[in-house]
Amino acid sequence: MRIVLLGAPGSGKGTQAAMLQEELGLPHISTGALLRAAVKKQTEVGLQAKEILDRGDFMPDEIMLHLIEERLAQPDVETSFMLDGYPRNLAQAKALDELLERLDKPLDEAIQIDVDPERILARILRRASEEHRSDDSEEVFRHRMEVYEEHTAPVAEYYAQQGLLTRILGHGSPADVQRLLLSVLELDVQAP
């Protein structure tokens, strides 16, 4: 099973991916986590990423594709994975399709988690106080939403045109949203 989770920043993609990883053992590829790890290790990409993340901008497509390709080469993602935070624009979606075709790992499903932006802002501000993330502020969130609407929202339509997209409402509890995800994936698994 190869899945892309889509949704605005703070919509719960990472939470849902972590829950699905725990429930199903599905490897979770989070570009945000990959980038934060690079920042923490102060790699060359990490130093570039910190400045870009702090502004709320997206990383250049070439860097992101390189990180994804490195991760997809690892043995734990041979047959299944969830992508969270990638692709973020149409160029990335097309590059991902080309990469997955070359690797013979086509996507099975793209799931869009829809959440009202004001609910997301409340989540972001709560996360900022709990996790002390420099990229979680109202100003950065508003900028990220503008960038999301312009660049990332069209990715959902791209997958819809391929017959891969399912939209779910992410306003419920994490367990409620997970039940919706599992039903989309047609899995008979009880969510916690």
Is 144 catalytic? The answer is: yes
- Active-site pick, 2, 50, 71, 88: 88
- Active-site pick, 13, 50, 71, 123: 13
Is 133 catalytic? The answer is: yes
| Cα gap 134→131, rounded to integer Å | 9
Is 127 catalytic? The answer is: yes
Q: H/E element holding 28?
A: strand 28-30
The answer to whether residues 156 and 6 touch, using CB atoms and an 8 Å cutoff, is yes
| Cα gap 172→180, rounded to integer Å | 10
Q: What angle do CA 126, 130, 134 make, to 5 degrees?
A: 85
- Active-site pick, 55, 133, 167, 179: 133
How many beta carbons lie within 10 A of that of residue 43, not counting itself? 12
Beta bridge partners of 4: 83, 110
3-state SS, residue 83: strand
- Active-site pick, 36, 94, 119, 127: 127
Contacts of residue 30, Cβ cutoff 8 Å, sequence gap at least 6: 14, 17, 84, 85
CA distances from 172 to 113, 165, 184 (A): 11, 20, 16
Is 105 catalytic? The answer is: no
- Residues that are catalytic: 13, 88, 127, 133, 144
